Amino acid sequence: MFESIQNGLSIFGESVRILFKYPKFAVPLLVTWCILAPLTIYLRFMFPWENYPPLFLILIIFGTIYLCSFLFSLSCVILLELIRQHETGGDLRLGKALIETIQKDLPGILVIAFVWAIVWFILSVLKVLTSRKRGGYRHVPSPQEAATVLAGGGGVFSWLNLGISFFQKLVRMTVFLVLPAIAWEHKGPFNAIRRGLHVLREDAGEFLTVYAGTGVAEAIIYLPAIIAVKFIGQAPDIFWYGVIIYTACAWTFSMYLEQMSVALLFLWHKKWEVSMQDAEKNGKSLPQLGEVPMPSLLSDTTDLMANPEEH
């Protein structure tokens, strides 16, 4: 167990170092935030919810969640394509990564995002049912109101909602662990789900360590924004615009840590499988995951190996 924790912490640290050397890895997520943040503000403050029947509102909510799950998945696969570019000795080209993602991986992304959206929708309904009812808004929000919502400070705290949020994060990171099977191993969506869950079972200790590490990092990163929206009353608009910009950077960084960490875990697992296959062929003892050097995007070594099943 201690070895698994150590491995997970190594993955977490490597993810941070990679971003400082290659900031491009976070660009897809920053673009995602720039799309979803205005949508969040519009739906929260300005959308005329009372003008539509309940069934239509359910479709709107599910459609919005599906859009979110799709954009999260798309940004993750673009990151995986950037890793492929790095591992094959090419420059990190976002446009090329986007084109390859759309050409090769889009059908699988659409299916995975739809399955994820169903789970996300059910959890969101549970959150609504266990929260106090809030009144409608229907106005253009002030910068302070927008900053409060985007920083996650506009809700009512409950331990049940906190538990649901933890489970949502678990589901999200599991999806991020499934997507490499689509991007790197060209599996169909349901085979990719089985592959991702197999990696999760085999490397549960490392996954949970990464899960906890990214959660702690997220809490620390968001703390200044939460303090601002909870405890600062009147302030110039420029201050709240600064909080919004900080929140965008915090969200991008925290989501990047989740995506890159599980990508490195999947890559390490692939490398371990190849090492076990070689050891078995040569009659040697099978290595543990920690006995195989962790993949690094900061070195010149190519770690993106073929799936052993393909040999």
- Residue 124 carries which side chain, given as an amino acid letter? S
* Residue 310 pLDDT class (50, 70, 90 cuts): very low
The Cβ of residue 20 has, within 10 Å, a number of other Cβ atoms equal to 8
What are the pLDDT digits (tens) for 64-74?
999 999 999 99
What type of residue sits at position 15? S
Taking the C-alpha atoms of residue 35 and residue 149, their distance in angstroms, rounded to an integer, is 15
Q: What is the DSSP letter of 51?
A: G
C-beta of residue 41 within 8 angstroms of C-beta of residue 80: no
Residue type, position 203, single letter: D
**108 pLDDT tier (thresholds 50, 70, 90):** very high
Rounded mean pLDDT of the chain? 88
Q: What percent of the chain has pLDDT over 90?
A: 64
Higher pLDDT, 25 or 283: 25
pLDDT, greater one: 159 or 243: 243
Find which of 38-52, 59-73, 128-142 is predicted with most confidence, using mean pLDDT: 59-73
Question: What's the CA angle centered on 246, arms 264 and 216, to 5 degrees?
Answer: 45
Mean pLDDT to the nearest integer, 160-180: 92
Q: Please determine, for residue 263, whether its predicted confidence score (pLDDT) is greater than 80.
A: yes
User: Sorting pLDDT into bands at 50, 70 and 90, what band is 156?
Assistant: low
The pTM (predicted TM-score) of the whole model is 0.91
**Local confidence band at 309 (pLDDT 50, 70, 90 cut-offs):** very low
Q: Are 174 and 191 in contact (CB under 8 A)?
A: no
C-alpha 147/C-alpha 49 separation (Å) is 22
Q: By C-alpha distance, which of 197, 194, 198, 192 is closest to 179?
A: 192
For the stretch 236-254, pLDDT in tens is: 999 999 999 999 999 999 9
| Residue 163: per-residue pLDDT | 87
Of residues 49 and 305, which shows the higher confidence score?
49
Q: With 90 as the cut, is the pLDDT of residue 279 above it?
A: no
What are the residue boundaries of the structural domains of the chain, listed by start?
Answer: 2-310
Q: Could you tell me which residues come within 8 angstroms of residue 157 by beta carbon, excluding any fewer than 6 positions away?
A: none
The DSSP call for residue 24 is G
Q: Report H helices in the chain.
A: 2-21, 27-41, 54-87, 94-100, 106-129, 143-150, 159-183, 189-202, 204-231, 237-281
Structure confidence at residue 103 as a pLDDT band (50, 70, 90): very high
Residue that is written with structure tokens 């890559």 in the block: 267
Return the pLDDT at 303. 67
Mean pLDDT of 27-36: 96
pLDDT tens digit string along 145-155? 999 999 886 65
What is the pLDDT averaged over residues 201-221? 93
